[in-house]
Amino acid sequence: MIGRRTFITVEKKVLIRDYSTIGINCLILGAHHDYQDPFKPYITGEVTGKPEIKIGVNCFLSAGVTVLAGINVGYGSVIGSGSLINKDIPPFSLVIGNPCKIVKTYNFEKNVWREYDDETNLEKDIISEEYYLNILKKKMPRTGPYFHAATNKMGDL
């Protein structure tokens, strides 16, 4: 599901995998105008960008999140409202802030989100994205009408 007033611009490609949700007012910024010559109108400059932006399986980008060019948001991750994603996010991470900061990661042994302290705290034996997708498809093969997910058309929220 992609929320209202979300803006996506890209030079190469944006890949949004299955079961992912992008909240309202998000920015997926994969391209920008060339500004190297200040004596040439910026609007006429070439559009440039880094390789694709990838948002993995079952990611949740809350309202007002900005994702910059060339970023990978790892599968199973949750991004807090208003966050600026300016670096790759590992799978199963809870991220907040501007610039973004990992605050929790998922512990598969205990099946809980745990506090994140540094790079050594990342899971070593994480499940693959395709295996994760297959689990989700078995649990919920159909998620329903995406276009109603963030409205009151299906009842009061």
Q: What is the mean pLDDT of residues 82-110?
A: 95
Give the model's pLDDT for residue 131: 96
Q: Does residue 157 carry a pLDDT above 60?
A: no
Q: What is the mean pLDDT of residues 85-114?
A: 94
Q: Which helix H or strand E contains 30, and what residues bound it?
A: strand 27-30
Q: Does residue 45 carry a pLDDT above 80?
A: no
Give the model's pLDDT for residue 150: 52
pTM of the model: 0.84
Domains of the chain: 7-33+41-145 (2.160.10.10)
Q: What is the mean pLDDT of residues 30-47?
A: 83
Tokens at residue 49, please? 């960008």
Give the model's pLDDT for residue 49: 67
Q: Are 94 and 102 in contact (CB under 8 A)?
A: yes
Give the model's pLDDT for residue 44: 83
Confidence of residue 154 (pLDDT cuts 50, 70, 90): low
Give the model's pLDDT for residue 47: 77
